[in-house]
Amino acid sequence: MLIIHLFISSLPSLNVLIMLFMLLVGKFSFAQNLKRKEIKDKRPTKITLLSNYYDQDGNKSAVNGGLGSQKIESFSQEVHLYLPVKSTDALAIDAGVDHFTSASLASIDKYVSQASSGNSGISGSETRMYANIAFEHQISERLIISPRIGFSSEYDVQSVNAGISLLKKLQNNDGAISTSFGATLDRWMVVHPGEFRASGLDAETGASVSSVNPYATPFVYSGESISKNGQAYPVDWRASYALVNGYSFAINQKMNASVGIDLLAQRGLLSTPFHRVYFNDGIGDEYQKEVRIEKLPRERYKIAISGRFNYFLDPAIVLRSYARLYKDTWDINSITLGLETVLKFNKSFAATPFFRYHKQEGTSYYRAYGQHVYTPGDFYTSDIDLGSFSAIRSGLALRYVPFANLKLDSNGKPVKHFASMKDVGLRYGYNNREDGLTGHSLSFEITFEL
């Protein structure tokens, strides 16, 4: 972890990365004297539309200190545009909207009436918008560079990101080496649970009165503040840096594999300001029980090592396997194993059943509802996502290629109109975690070529 820490301490600022992106785009878009190998066939413009529905439920809400509904419903719409602008250049643009309802978010102000001026304004229904743009430049026949920038916005978090990727194809297209660096800066509007805010309806009664119980005093954030819905909120920041490296290679005509190593560092606000933690004080009445705001370290370093192996059993059956090991400085360790089988029924239709198993050893900062014993200086959370559990994910993906059997032109390609449907995908997944959390996801994807 020392290596990761030294690496992150020498990183440039996000502003420098954005300037680098602009310089690279300008250079690669307008330099006319570079010698390039032209791509023989014109690459098509691709538009992919993706719709996804997700539903989950459980009974260990971190907003309520480890108890209560984790019901979430989410519906997202995404569009991905791949636009070649030269024989060696292309733009990749992603944009989307995610609208979700959450029973947990509705509990942030569970002791504050909707009519109260102390209400945070966060409802059980929120919307997130995001967009990313990458400029892909082929430096040579086998080397591609892709700088990128992006943003996302929701009620209490605004984010910007920038990064750059390199892809080096091996001889005879037998594999590739890739590396990607990215930085994300999050600006948080710090919203505490309603009973911790001075303007809250419950500010004068109960266990959260700082004048009576000092443990209830929220953290003090220095610096700027932001006004929303007539209230002032502190502002805090989170910076995340990721270095992702991969190596893919062919073993023989029937087998190929890849390995990867990911390094991630985070600094700043890593706890969630509206997560409650209830302590073991012998009091059964939650309204009078000792409660604090989640407290976690302001630094975290992560490392993950992964591998994939694909075996082409015959032209109609492909076996794919996946394994990942993870560790971080909060002492969370996990292993993930996955297996899927691609079944090609004909040129147009394929089905892929899949299964994934995940086992996690949680951080010592985690305790369930009412199990923490307070010690000054300790970190504490009741977010089960940071605890120990095992989980499975299974499902089925379907893919249909409408024009696989169309008449071919003189170049051996299907005859297409101005906008042709390239493929259609449908995917269903079921999640089951041993703590009782279950979830269902359904996604529909359609790709057009122009």
Residue 400 C-alpha from the chain's centroid: 27
Per-residue pLDDT reduced to its tens digit, 165-178: 999 998 877 899 99
157 bridge partner residues? 188
Inside any domain, residue 38: no
Q: Is the dihedral of CA 398, 402, 404, 410 positive or negative?
A: negative
Cα–Cα distance measured from residue 156 to residue 272, given in angstroms and rounded to the nearest whole number:
11
pLDDT at 193: 85
pLDDT value for 408: 61
What is the pLDDT, as a whole number, of residue 177? 97
Q: Three-class SS of residue 48?
A: strand
What pLDDT band is residue 153 in, cutting at 50, 70 and 90?
A: very high
Cα gap 359→361, rounded to integer Å:
7
Give one DSSP letter per residue of 193-260, joined into a string.
Answer: -GGGSTTSTTTTSSTT-TTT-GGGPPPPPPS-EEEETTEEEEEEEEEEEEEEEEEEEE-SSSEEEEEE
Instruction: Give the sign of the dihedral formed by CA 308, CA 173, CA 263, CA 183.
Output: negative
* Confidence (pTM): 0.84
> Token pair for residue 398?
């379907």
Q: What is the mean pLDDT of residues 445-450?
A: 92
Residue numbers of the domain that contains 136: 2-28+45-449
Whether 201 has a pLDDT exceeding 50, the answer reads no
- Greater confidence (121 vs 49) lies with 49
> Is 35 inside a domain boundary?
no
Given this model, what pLDDT does residue 115 score? 45
What is the pLDDT averaged over residues 109-138? Answer: 76
Which segment of 92-101, 113-122, 357-366, 368-377 scores lowest on mean pLDDT?
Answer: 113-122
What is the predicted pLDDT for the residue at 221? 57
Domain count for the chain, please give it: 1
Read off the pLDDT of residues 336-356 as tens digits, 9 standing for 90 and up.
999 999 999 998 999 999 999
> Is residue 148's pLDDT more than 90?
yes
The pLDDT score that the predictor gives to residue 36 is 42
The answer, yes or no, to whether residue 12 has pLDDT greater than 50, is no
Is 179 among the domain residues? yes
Lowest mean pLDDT among 52-66, 207-221, 268-282, 415-429: 207-221
Retrieve residue 363's tokens: 């951080």
**17 or 429: which leads in pLDDT:** 429
* Structure token digits, residue 44: 């098509």
Residue 36: inside a domain? no
Rounded to whole angstroms, the Cα distance separating 99 from 80 reads 18
Which range, of 209-218, 345-354, 391-400, averages the lowest pLDDT? 209-218
Query: What's the token pair of residue 309?
Result: 């192996």
- In the prediction, which pLDDT does 284 show? 86
* pLDDT of res. 407: 57
Residue with more model confidence, 26 or 319 = 319
What local confidence, expressed as pLDDT, does residue 31 receive?
A: 42
In angstroms, the CA 430 to CA 280 distance is: 35
Instruction: Give the torsion sign (CA, 265, 248, 176, 353).
Output: negative
- For residues 117 and 401, the model is more confident at 401
Tell me which of 1-10, 318-327, 393-402 is least confident: 1-10
Confidence band of 288 (pLDDT split at 50, 70, 90): confident
Q: What is the mean pLDDT of the chain?
A: 84
Residue 24 has a pLDDT of 47
User: Has residue 34 been placed in a domain?
Assistant: no
The tokens 């985070």 sit on which residue?
266
Asked if residue 378 has pLDDT above 80, the reply is yes
Residues ≥6 apart with Cβ < 8 Å to 67 = 59, 60, 61, 369
CA-based angle 141:19:8, to the nearest 5? 90
Q: Is the pLDDT of residue 182 over 90?
A: yes
| Phi, psi of 24, deg, nearest 5 | -65, -45
Q: Residue 154 pLDDT more than 80? A: yes
Would 120 be classed as within a structural domain?
yes
- 39 within domain boundaries: no
- Domain membership flag for residue 434: yes
Q: What is the CATH number of the domain that holds 376?
A: 2.40.160.40
Tell me the two tokens of residue 182. 């990215």
User: 5-9 long-range contacts, Cβ below 8 Å, gap at least 24?
Assistant: 5/265, 5/301, 7/243, 7/263, 7/265, 8/241, 8/265, 8/267, 8/301
